[in-house]
Amino acid sequence: MYAITGVTGHVGGAAARALTDAGRPVRRIVRNPAHEHDAVADLADTAALTKAFDGCDGAFVLLPTVAPFTDEAHRGLAASIAAAVEASGVPHVVLLSSWGAHLAAGTGPIRWLHHLENLLNATGATVTAIRSPHFQEKVETVLEAATGAGIYPVFGDEADVPVPMVATADIGAAVARALIDPPAASEVIVLEAPEYTERQVATALGELLGRPLQVVTVPRAGWREALPVPPRLAEELVALYAADADGLLQPVGDRRVRCATELTVTLRRVAGPGAA
């Protein structure tokens, strides 16, 4: 049995489907159960999470970004997850991490993943940290601007630098493989993926939407005001975008896994049935 958190999201859902397709039993950790094997637990509820992990061969965990977007909130969630792992005795944990998680600071919310990696490594469980580059699905955050105003905003210094972008289905598949075939010792897996510039993404998305998109590179001084999110979250995202633009988010790990899904496959799904 494999316990999966975040099953209503992109990566957790993909991991659960990949495990099910491989004929492996899955315990979905949710707030509202819909299936027989579901477990009800909040990541902040250590006792419930411990019970959800109990008796499982492996578990997949992630660290969501939650209000009020403070260090205290995310370190508290990380501590709860690690405590549940240790108390349950689950032998293997796969963590969704990120490029740049080898750094303790200067990376915005990725620093919280660095902290969680360290806490999990101290539990006694074998830990597989899967460090991912940009998600291809991040285009969802600009769909409203694209479909409404015909704009593709870029929070970076330029729009023509190729960067790896991975489909979350590929991340879920990597999670499932790691759970089914755990390593002998803890390791960090770096995901590699096809590279695209933001301008290429905008062009491909515009073709699917049937309209050209204007690429607007937002200057650093305007990042915070341009983000339609609470001020504290905006500060974290500005730090993340700056770390990315400054080249701090590097693929550091023990081994690499290549992901192959092309961007157009993801864009067709994200843009919806009306896309060209």
**What is residue 66's predicted lDDT score, i.e. its pLDDT?**
95
**What is residue 273's predicted lDDT score, i.e. its pLDDT?**
61
Number of domains in the chain: 1
Rounded distance, CA 57 to CA 66, Å?
28
Does residue 85 sit within a domain? yes
Rg (CA), the chain: 19
φ and ψ at residue 272, rounded to 5 degrees: 95, 175
For residue 117, the domain's CATH number is 3.40.50.720
Rounded distance, CA 171 to CA 15, Å?
8
Does residue 197 sit within a domain? yes
Q: Which domain holds residue 108?
A: 2-271
Does residue 227 sit within a domain? yes
Does residue 276 sit within a domain? no
The pTM score is: 0.94
**What is residue 51's predicted lDDT score, i.e. its pLDDT?**
97
Q: Which two tokens stand for residue 152?
A: 């593709």
**How does 184-216 read in b/e, with b if 16+ C-beta sit within 10 Å?**
eebbbbbbebbebbbbebbbbbbbbbeeebebe
| Contact status, residue 50 vs residue 88, Cβ threshold 8 Å | yes
Does residue 152 sit within a domain? yes
- Please, what sign has the CA dihedral across residues 257, 258, 263, 268? negative
Does residue 210 sit within a domain? yes
**What is residue 275's predicted lDDT score, i.e. its pLDDT?**
56
pLDDT means per 10 residues, the chain with 276 residues, are 95 97 96 78 96 98 96 97 98 98 98 98 98 96 92 95 97 98 98 98 95 95 93 96 96 97 95 63
